[in-house]
Structure formats: structure tokens, C-alpha cells
Chain A
């Protein structure tokens, strides 16, 4: 039983990593007042760019750079439309999602002629699992050893990076001058402008950070968790991350917990399939699949309470006299 739990938590870490990265990316964007429904598109675009880069240059790190570049590029397009030209954030985000879904497959067909997929990656072209020091030695120690060597050790570096990003984000948002301004821009851009700080510049910087984090999430999907790009491989993770962001009320630690919950439910769904539960019998696949969504609705309705976003989110900032 304990071992099963450890394995389920292990799977939870793997599955929630892209969610955490994408949700934190969304956190930066939305805290600065930019609605980012284009998380999905950025993840997908970066997954493709990372896999393509890793396949061509044979290095996962170069792939990661390409992924981040692609994702930041998309974020800048979003910024150009929403900040500079005061466009509608949702329209721009959806446009990015749609363009990327088509563009990745088209470019993939043209470059690799494998039906929109990239070649399968192996060796250095993938982020491989890291065994933490003493993991093997401690494996035989009951409970603590198992937690350390099975649960904490043996993930790839991007998993650790994702978890490290949570305290970093907390620090940036709440403890730095940039974070204060970022939050202020999302709540009351007029006040920030009065203080002589450029609203547009703060928002652009927020989007660059958003792009970098989404880039890592995408690279994780195609070069760490899987080995290669497959069309539509982001499979709604961007939207899930957005849901986790609202669920976690735009705060780093609750967002992390929301992502872990989603990941855990996913892992449970995988594990419970075909298992005979006492008194119920075998649970049909459909019932298990729906579990994460039902729980989300129940938790949101019953326990979390009202989620209120940044006040100025989604509204373009217009200087009063211009």
C-alpha cells in the first residue's frame, strides 16, 4: 500500500511539472494584467521547437533554448497585440493557440517529413533522470529511504527546476521591487503610471518571464517526459494550468498545490483503472476519467470560495491624456 502511494506520488510529480511551469507563467502574465489563454499555444510551440532543435543538434539543452525562444517569441506577439495595440487579450491568445496548432504540424511535415512528428530523441537529445546522491544507499531504509530514493530521486532536471520556481516566484512577486510594481500594474495601472513607471514595459517583462516558463514546460513535454514531438501533444495542459491558476487564486503556493492535485488525480486515474474496488467492483474508464473535473468543480464550489483575479486583468491600459 505504502509503495503504491509512493509510486502514485512519483507519477504525480512527473505529470504536474508542465502544469506548474505553465501555471506560474500564467501567474506572471495575469498578475501584470494580461490574460493569457495562449499558454496552451506557447507550450505546444515550444514543445515543437525544443524537439526539433534537440533532434537537429543532438542536445537537449540546445532544444530547450529553441523552445524558450519560440515561446518568448509567441509571448511577444501576444504583448504586441495586447499591450502596444490594446487588442483583446482573449482573441489574441486564441489566435496564438490556433496558429501554433497548425504551424507546428506544417513545419514538422516540411522539415522532417514524418507526418508532423519530429524524429524520436535518444541519448543527449533528451533530459535524462538524475539520481540524487546516496539514493541507492538509502533505498533499503524503510519509509524515509523509499521516499528519498523512489519519490524524490530519479527525476530529470526540469522537474526539480519547476519546483524550485515556486519559491523563486514567491520571492519575485512579494519581495522585490519588480514584483511590487508587477502586482500594482495588474491592480491599478494608473497609480503605477503616476509614479513614473512604464506600464507597458512592466507588462512586456512579465510576458517575457511567462514565455520562458512556458518554454521550459514545452521542452519538458517533448524532450524529457516524451521523446519527440507529436501533433497536439500539449493536450489541453495550458487550459488545465489556467484552471489551476484560478483555483490557486493567482498565488504561487496555492497554485502549486492546485497543480499537484490535478496531477495526483491524473495519476490516480491511471492507477485505478481496471482495479476491483471493494463493494463497487471494477470502475469503468469513463467514471475515472471524469474524476479530476468533478472534483475540481466540487472543490471550487464548496471549499475554495470565490476566486477574484487582479483588478485590471484583461483591460488595456490607456493613458488619460494622450
Chain B
């Protein structure tokens, strides 16, 4: 198909989509309206389960089965990236040479690396109380670790990144989510139902199953993102054609 014909087809399809979308928007509830029936029920359910962060309650308690699917998608994508970017027959790895780094940059990285890892851990651990949770904190942990690459070099990253351990941690955490679902079945309730003791509202141990699933997701996201980024970094730094 020629470029011009393709653009014409796209314009026609775009006009149809735009027309129907605008018509649908006109029938939506007004922007900023006070009535949110699902939201109000979710808030009431979250407070009933003594979870202060309603978004975490929705993700890890009320819609935990949906999050199991989301987490499996994450695991599958890490797996496929590892598979797609594996070393081909006509490639080999070469040892990256140490790069010159300003001492001040190196010091900055060494000071900030523990701070960012602590921040990530905090965001994961307080997922049921304050904004954040396993997904957000996991990404903070994983990207914080790469300060070692930004502020030093690839060899320094290799020393703070135990890839073999993280590979296993990713798989174990992904599986642990499903196993945690069985806790509900053992207690005679539904799969992934929140049957653990709920604790005191607004404390670290509140929310029953929520902080446990949250921590498992934090481990999976952190190790998954590190493994994922490792594949891309390998391609850029280590892998050359034979």
C-alpha cells in the first residue's frame, strides 16, 4: 500500500474513532462529579479491612486476583526478554574495561546508593499505609541499584547485583503470590480472600494479607526489573559479534 493511501485510510479510521469517542464522552458523568459509587464502596471495604491506603486495598485485597494476572504478565515479559536477548551463536561476551569516573561522582553514588535502596524498601513496606506499594517501591529499588552503573561503571554494577540470586528471587516471588492465595482456601474462604488477622488500623501490621502480598510483589518487581535491565545493558555493553 502506498504511503498516501495508508494516510487516507488512517484519516478515515481516525475520524470514525474521534466521532464515536466524542459522542461517548458527552454521555459520561460530568468531570469532577461528587458521585462515585464504585469508589465509595471500595473506600468502605478498605476501611473495613483496616487498610489505610485504599489503592493498595483494591490492588492486593479486593481485586487481588486481577493483580495476580498483572504480576504474571510482568513475569512473562521478563522471561521473554531474557529469551529474546540471550547470547546467539554468532555472538560472544567481552569483558568491559573500567571507565574513568570523577571521584566526586563516585562518592555521590556511594552515598546515595544506600539512601535510594532504603527509600525503595520504605515505599514497599508502607504500601498499605501511604502512597506507594510493591510495584512502585520495587521500581525504586531496581533503578536505585543502577546508581552503581551511573556513578561508577559496569563492573561496579556487577558487584552489587547478584543476578543468579535475583533470577531465582523473581521466580519464587511470582510463585509465592499464588501460594498466598491458598491461605484463603485453607481457612475455608475463597482463593486470595483476606483471612489473616487484620491488626490495628494505620500500623505496619494492619491489613491482613495486604502487606504480605505487597512485600512479595515488591521482591518480584525489584528483581524482575533488575534482570530485565541486565539483558538490555548486556546488549549495550558486553555482547559483540564474533
> Do A and B originate from a single complex?
no
Interface residues of B (CB under 8 A from A): none
Interface residues of A (CB under 8 A from B): none
